[in-house]
């Protein structure tokens, strides 16, 4: 009976450690289209196809202030056709717009290239929206991977 209790205890401790490790992992992000279709084509690689009806079409994902520091660097790798920019929009706890920061216009090609944006965030920050958007009205088709948020 004592051996059974010891094994039960060992299994319990293992399960608790395993749950703690999973809790520390970064949650899976959800990517949403803005005038565009977003689909996963491979593990960790997504394709974005814009409608071309207006500028600022592409993909968006959100991060809570607790997931980032006050001076984060957001980076990702892109390839495809189109002109895009990486943009960070900040909102407060009431959902009010605070400000936005944006990279320069980037012409995509068939080769992977990294877009990176470092910004200093507001102390009133509650949420940021990270977007990769077309900079003028045109149809674009691109892939992205390797989204990183360095605090």
How many C-beta atoms lie closer than 10 Å to residue 15's C-beta?
10
Q: State the burial class of residue 88 (Cβ atoms within 10 Å of its Cβ: 0-12, 13-18, 19+).
A: buried
Alpha-helical (H) ranges within the chain are 2-24
- Render pLDDT for 88-118 as a digit per residue (tens, 0 to 9): 999 998 999 999 999 999 999 999 999 999 9
Specify the pTM: 0.78
CA–CA distance, 35 with 55 (Å, rounded to integer):
9
In order of start, what are the domains of the chain with their CATH numbers?
28-150 (2.60.120.260)
E-assigned strand segments in 67-140 = 73-81, 83-92, 97-102, 106-107, 113-118, 125-134
- Render pLDDT for 117-132 as a digit per residue (tens, 0 to 9): 999 888 888 999 999 9
């Amino acid at each position: 009976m004592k051996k059974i209790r010891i094994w039960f205890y060992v299994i319990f401790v293992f399960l608790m450690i395993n749950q703690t490790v999973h809790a520390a992992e970064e949650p899976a992000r959800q990517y949403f289209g803005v005038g565009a279709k977003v689909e996963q084509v491979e593990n960790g690689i997504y394709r974005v196809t814009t409608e071309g009806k207006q500028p600022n079409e592409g993909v968006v994902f959100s991060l809570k202030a607790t997931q980032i520091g006050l001076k984060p660097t957001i980076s990702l790798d892109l390839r495809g056709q189109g002109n895009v920019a990486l943009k960070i929009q900040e909102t407060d706890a009431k959902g009010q717009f605070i400000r936005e920061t944006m990279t320069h216009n980037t012409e995509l090609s068939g080769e992977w290239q990294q877009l990176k944006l470092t910004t200093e965030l507001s102390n009133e920050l509650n949420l940021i929206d990270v977007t990769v958007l077309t900079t003028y009205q045109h149809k674009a088709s691109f892939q992205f991977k390797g989204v990183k948020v360095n605090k």
